[in-house]
Chain A
Amino acid sequence: MAWYIGRRLLQMIPVFLGATLLIYFMVFALAGDPIAALGGERGLNPAVAAQLREHYHLNQPFLVQYLLWLKGLLTFDFGTSFSGRPVRDVMAGAFPVTIQLAFVALFFEAVFGIAVGLVSGLRKGKLFDSTFLIVSLVVIAVPVFVIGFTMQFLVGVKLGWLPPTVGGNVNIRTLLMPGIVLGSVSFAYVLRLTRTSVAENMTADFVRTATAKGLTRRRVVTVHVLRNSLIPVVTFLGADLGGLMGGAIVTEGIFNIPGVGNTLYHAIQQSEAPTVVSMVTVLVMVYIFANLLVDLLYAALDPRIRYA
């Protein structure tokens, strides 16, 4: 087990280097000169622009910039943003917010997705199943910003049930609506995965055996069917955590959430390489760790899997 984890941790190094290099390259290759925008509508005096370019190492070749960034990383110095803030502080402000948002979304999609999926799977073809199957398809097919704007106006403004934006008040009440919007597509996936998986397992031999053994239906469903059906669902949820954090760009914009997505989007627009690369790096790490966690969870869910 320890050997397995150790090997997985070692494998992260090339993924980490590869992903950061790739991102750094993409940001570097971005068309446009980040300094050009700093002057606003009137542009910037060339002499001042040249000074700024030198200050941010923007006149250095790509590889030098990347290595400078890596070097800083060793001392937890992620560089500074154009507004003069250390990127470390920028991240320390943004990540907690997005983590909370992602967990609200994850909680929503996991609980409701699995619950609805379970019932649908048990009653495949019935009205409940068909209804939610259509709901899930619609949720996938309608772009998330349409869902977001509609909910914000209806629930936030018209009905006044929940605050329409988050801003500085990051708490469960304000994050509830954005969390549901963010998790809506994944909710549809979880529902569909659980449904299929449950329906499949219901006809599996071990379920038949368990039923034959005289176990109550309740026990068969919760212990045998659900536990086995959760394996693909857990895989999906694990991979989704990283996606939720990085993919919250649209949701965070609509609900004015000062999180990773918003910060990243603006950093990308301003070609702030240190901010973009550092934040994406953390996202990549989250993704890798979540996957490791998922693999370890497998062992807990499926006794047949053992890691050596």
Chain B
Amino acid sequence: MKIRRIGGLTAAIAVSALALAACSSSPSATTTTTAASGPSTGIVTVNGSEPQNPLIPTNTNETGGGKLLTLLFAGLVYYDAKGAPHNEVADSITTSDATTYTIKLKSGWKFTNGEPVTSKSFVDAWNYGAKLSNKQLSSYFFEGIQGFSYDADSDLTGLKIVDDSTFTVTLKQPEADFPLRLGYSAFYPLPSVAFKDMTAYGQDPIGDGPYMFKDASAWEHNVKADVVPNPGYIGDRKPMNGGVSVKFYTSQDAAYQDLLANNLDVDDAIPDSAFGVYKTDLGDRAVNQPAAIFQSFTIPQNLAHFTGAEGNLRRQAISLSIDRKTITDKIFQGTRTPAKDFTSPVIAGYNPNLTGSDVLDFNPTKAKDLWAQANAIAPWSGKFTIGYNADGGHQAWVDAVANSIKNTLGIDAEGSPYPTFKDLRTDITKRTIKGAFRTGWQADYPSLYNFLGPIYGTGAGSNDGDYSNPQVDALLKQGLAAKSVDAANKYFDQVQEILFKDLPAIPLWYSNVTGGYATTVTNVQFGWDSVPLYYAIKKA
């Protein structure tokens, strides 16, 4: 697998004037696969799933709703196909100390009800999303902003409106990648009408994005949601089609059958069952490219036999005993890329050659040797299990990984299925899980830190294995406070080198986005976040 290097983000985040501003002047990175010019009029049908929550930006944390929000809203920045941020509503985002940011808005932006998009639209929306009693699922996105509290309702005192087109954000501590996050849906603005009745708003949201709901019945629950181009949209993501119809599927198989029968134009999730045939079925309309998704399994820090020096040897041995290449070939038919680090190849700063990454190679001899050394410290007993949720199509690879460990180390290893994701999460959250468990991470915003900080920082929100290493904590903090992304990534590389030694989680592979499109559409590109750039698709 060839590694794609990201160009857009290598530009340094300048101390006084953020490079982001510069990006907006250059044309967006749309590489056309077919050279048809001008917008088309056809309605593009794409796969999706019923949003699990009302369509409120700060309360949407899953792809079903996220997909629609990206169509309906424009935030301060948007990400292009490669994950590079470009200013959308923001005119500039500047800082001198990575702690206080001054955000200036472009003029002329309006919500589809005619209300102008102002500083207040952002500040009110963020305050709403952060307030504890509003119980918004994405509230943690605001936890770095001054005034945020998990203990009681409190305003984000770090947000100050200067005038209609300017506001400032003060963070609790320096975070250099804060501007990178602003394209995430939690940071979208809301019109004032939303706060009058948020429940009603969540059913028929009014946004400022390239598309809008035509009327209140555009969202047919469990069936589909239709969006039409927003004539008032003035950003770079200009719709090139007559609208998008997101059809909701409960199984990827059904969507794929529709794609084959030309009942669906774009499918961004080829099912497991078609991995063997989708390339034959679709020819050059098949898409298989790396995405910002990292898969691993976590071995809890306090798991018996996996603590101290013995545990360290065993972790190394387990990692060395997994034949990632064969598994990605045979089980995933090349739709996964064996992991070389703890992040993703589509993120700027990705480095597949970090010191210590050879622990991810398949090396049965060394694995057996290390396992024997561990046995010398304390003899192995019991069974190695990998917990997973049976409702997510994980069974095949978990079985394959368990077999690989079993066949290499000669120990009893098996998958431990939980019927649903909920059951797995419950056991993980309560720390009652008795064994390793699958963990995955899809980046919210294109940054190395997003793959590391929330997972391996002491006490971090998704540190499900309770990993704690003061060195890692210090380096993460230094990385955040760094003045440029490149400088920050040097610290993050060091973090990963420590992680290779400690192996709180065993990296497995990066998920590719595996999709395809019908003969009816052209100019289909898949973004860094696995979602196609719907606005650019053309259909006659």
- Which chain A residues (33-58) contact chain B, with CB distance < 8 Å? 33-34, 36-48, 51-52, 55
Name which residue of chain A comes closest to B50, CB basis: A83
B248-285 vs A, CB cutoff 8 Å, 1 = contact: the mask equals 11110111011011010000000000000000000000
Bound: A278/B255 CA distance, A? 29
Binds B, one of A17-25, A162-170, A202-210, A227-235: A162-170
Bound: A149/B441 CA distance, A? 32
Binds A, one of B35-43, B358-366, B416-424, B503-511: B416-424
Contact A37 B420 (CB under 8 A): yes
Bound: A90/B222 CA distance, A? 9
How many A residues face the partner with a CB closer than 8 A? 52
- Which chain B residues (477-534) contact chain A, with CB distance < 8 Å? none
Residue A125 at the chain B interface, CB threshold 8 Å: no
Given contacts A84-B54, A160-B261, A165-B254, contact A37 B461 (CB under 8 A): no
Q: Which residues of A contact B355 (CB under 8 A)?
A: none
Q: Which residues of A contact B439 (CB under 8 A)?
A: 41
Q: Which residues of B contact A89 (CB under 8 A)?
A: 221
Q: Which residues of A contact B139 (CB under 8 A)?
A: 45, 48
Contact B422 A256 (CB under 8 A): no
Q: By DSSP majority rule, is chain B's interface helix, strand, loop, or mixed?
A: mixed
Bound: A254/B137 CA distance, A? 31
Given contacts A85-B221, A168-B223, contact A48 B137 (CB under 8 A): yes
Bound: A269/B420 CA distance, A? 6
Residue A82 at the chain B interface, CB threshold 8 Å: yes
Bound: A187/B132 CA distance, A? 55
- Which chain B residues (102-126) contact chain A, with CB distance < 8 Å? none
Q: Which single member of A34, A39, A163, A165 contacts B137 (CB below 8 Å)?
A: A39
Q: How far is the CB of A37 from the nearest CB of chain B, in Å? A: 4
Q: Which residues of A contact B253 (CB under 8 A)?
A: 149, 254
Given contacts A36-B429, A45-B461, contact A263 B222 (CB under 8 A): yes
B129-148 vs A, CB cutoff 8 Å, 1 = contact: the mask equals 00011011101100000000
A231-252 vs B, CB cutoff 8 Å, 1 = contact: the mask equals 0000000000000000000001
Name which residue of chain B comes closest to A157, CB basis: B260
Bound: A27/B371 CA distance, A? 44
How many B residues face the partner with a CB closer than 8 A? 55
Contact B258 A165 (CB under 8 A): yes
Bound: A34/B425 CA distance, A? 10
Bound: A43/B461 CA distance, A? 7
Residue A120 at the chain B interface, CB threshold 8 Å: no
Q: Which residues of A contact B224 (CB under 8 A)?
A: 167-168
Contact B440 A41 (CB under 8 A): yes
Bound: A266/B221 CA distance, A? 14
A258-272 vs B, CB cutoff 8 Å, 1 = contact: the mask equals 100011011001110
Q: Which residues of A contact B135 (CB under 8 A)?
A: 48, 51-52, 55
Q: How far is the CB of A130 from the nearest CB of chain B, in Å? A: 35
Q: Which single member of A93, A149, A258, A270 contacts B422 (CB below 8 Å)?
A: A270
Given contacts A33-B422, A36-B425, A85-B221, contact A43 B464 (CB under 8 A): yes
